């Protein structure tokens, strides 16, 4: 027992429709997050939050510079001391990345929301054409 061409096309159509519906749900959530991010940026405490995160980034940058200086100052290290310096440097570098990600999150949500809106509009156009 096999598929004929019509059954195959119908099967593909169902799978495509299901995938489009699932993708539309995800894109709708991204679009909603962008709207929420816009409200967040308008909140009076947002600037305070950004300043706090930026202060943490600046402080961590100083720590990173101190780790780099300590690593460059000496040619000889005890194995444990070297590991502590390298681990401390890596930890501070990751903290900086996390704080920068938190600072950039609303902007990224808004950009992703715009992209989601464009994709949802194209899906709606395709649906209305069929």
Residues 128 and 52 sit within 8 Å (Cβ to Cβ):
no
Structure tokens at 130: 């069929």
Q: Measure the CA–CA gap between 49 and 106, rounded to whole angstroms.
A: 12
**In a structure prediction context, what are the per-residue pLDDT tens digits for the chain, which is 130 residues long?**
566 777 767 776 666 666 565 666 676 666 666 666 666 777 778 888 888 999 999 999 999 999 999 888 877 778 888 889 999 999 999 999 999 998 888 777 777 777 777 777 776 777 677 6
Residues 69 and 88 sit within 8 Å (Cβ to Cβ):
no
Q: Measure the CA–CA gap between 81 and 63, rounded to whole angstroms.
A: 16
Q: Is the pTM of this model over 0.85?
A: no
């Amino acid at each position: 027992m096999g598929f004929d061409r019509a059954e195959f096309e119908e099967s593909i159509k169902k799978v495509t429709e299901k995938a489009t519906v699932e993708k539309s749900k995800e894109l709708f959530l991204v679009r909603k997050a962008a709207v929420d991010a816009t409200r967040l940026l308008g909140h009076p405490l947002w600037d305070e939050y950004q300043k706090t995160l930026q202060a943490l980034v600046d402080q961590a940058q100083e720590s990173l510079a101190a780790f780099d200086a300590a690593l460059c100052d000496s040619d000889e290290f005890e194995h444990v001391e070297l590991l502590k310096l390298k681990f401390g440097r890596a930890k501070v570098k990751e903290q900086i990345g996390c704080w920068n990600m938190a600072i950039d999150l609303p902007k990224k949500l808004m950009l992703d929301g715009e992209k989601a809106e464009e994709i949802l509009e194209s899906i709606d156009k395709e649906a209305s054409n069929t």
